[in-house]
Amino acid sequence: MNKPGRNLTILALAGLSLLVLASPAAGAQTGEAEGGESFLDKGLTFINQAAGQLGKWLVKVVDKLVGREVAAGLEVPLGYLSVLTIALLVFGALEVARKVIWAIVGLGWALLALRIVLEVLSEPANP
């Protein structure tokens, strides 16, 4: 039997593979892209930058919701948790792995929310 999201998952994985392999230096025999960086380095750099930008945006949202700056050091954790959450939504095909990852992501979100609440309760508001 074919699960409803299986075709979408296969298509997404194929598209991701093409994105990683279809850089300007894809024809190079050494497996290195321009500037001496490997495709893996470029892929990890992209994920890191995406997580950083997403984290900055989420920190702004949290700060506006709370009314002051409380999430100064949360950009990286929020960004990576968001990337993992998005990956779960896109590539959530394996039941066991998906349950484990959802548990880890849920725990991460709960701990971040707890940290924000503790910061709000422990520090006086800035005038």
Residue with the bigger pLDDT between 98 and 35: it is 98
What mean pLDDT comes out for the span 61-77? 84
The most distant pair of C-alpha atoms in the chain lies apart, rounded to whole Å, by 61
pLDDT confidence tier of residue 112, bands split at 50, 70 and 90: very high
DSSP H or E segment with residue 105: helix 95-122
Tens digit of each residue's pLDDT (9 = 90 or more) over 12-39: 555 555 454 444 444 444 455 456 678 8
In degrees, rounded to 5, the angle at the alpha carbon of residue 89 between the alpha carbons of residues 5 and 21 is 85
pLDDT at residue 106 in the model: 92
At residue 114, does pLDDT exceed 90?
yes
92 exposure class (CB count in 10 Å sphere: 0-12, 13-18, 19+): middle
Q: What is the pLDDT of residue 66?
A: 85
- Give the pLDDT score at 107: 93
Q: What is the pLDDT of residue 125?
A: 63
